[in-house]
Amino acid sequence: MPRPGRAELRRLAQRVRRRRRRTALREIPLLLGVAVLIALVVKTFLVQAFVIPSGSMEQTIRVGDRVVVDKLTPWFGSRPHRGDVVVFKDPGGWLGADGPPHKPDAAALHAVKKGLTAIGLLPSDNEHDLIKRVVAVGGDHVACCDSRGRVAVNGTPVDEPYVHPGNKPSAVPFEVRVPAGRLFVMGDHRADSGDSRFHQDPRFRGTVSEDSVVGRAVVIAWPLGHWATLGQRAAYAHVADAPVGAASAPDGSHKVAPQKPKATAVLPIPAELPLVMGVVGLHHARCRRRHEVRS
């Protein structure tokens, strides 16, 4: 059998290159689809990052810090502990209308942003989440303030090293028995945080449901110079757990004022600013379309 000439070899090589190009073009959509799927799974079940533009968690979390939120452990039944910093869905009315106005985009740009937001590559304009520190859990009795101005949990005063310098643990007196399955949360910048103290509904008295927790903020990932872990469970290590049966269904017995019949309750002055979210992972299956967090 005669060997092919140089011209025939060139034609064969060209055909091979064309086949490879066609194969590569067919594989690109598949690779992109796999990448998007991986991003969605990561964001849904593993981690998510939030950029903090407000100051209600200062000085622990500063404006512009990026915090990484663990979304994996709640899937295995882990519950928030006292001292944890958690991201949670707005219980209703906490966000208010004091966020910055959003300039509407052109229709085409809006569609592109919506698509990128869905896979976690852009922050969302929708504000549905907040970030606070857990001060008390279901069954706990939390009150402020003792003779030294400290918050007490189950009768034990807590020294809170994370409170913003110059702030009192709380300028608003309160006393709450936390219902089962709920959390009493406060911002570290106590003078600039619209938290459980200022949302005293008759039934839950400002506590938030454990089911509304998106995840636990575990670390400040950026900037590197401000890298730090966020948990402060050690501050509550000496606090005894509530007696068995103390956590009960919510009723009208919780108070957020001194126990004086004629005392006037201090009105809240919520001063929350929105947090703009950036992501390194995916939406929690139970969380909605995309998150922007408020602290």
Calculate the CA dihedral of residues 255, 83, 145, 98 and round it to 10 degrees: -70
Which strand (E) or helix (H) includes residue 24?
helix 6-45
Q: φ and ψ at 42, to 5 degrees? A: -60, -45
290 with 120: CB under 8 angstroms? yes
Q: Which amino acid is at 146?
A: D
Alpha carbon distances (Å) from 157 to 83, 127, 143, 182, 195: 14, 34, 9, 21, 20
How many residues are present in the chain? 295
Q: φ and ψ at 209, to 5 degrees? A: -75, 140
Token duo for residue 248: 């009960």
Token duo for residue 238: 């000496």
Q: Which of 54, 56, 170, 196 is catalytic?
A: 56
Known active-site residue 253:
no
Q: Which of 43, 71, 89, 132 is catalytic?
A: 132
Residues with a catalytic annotation lie at 56, 132
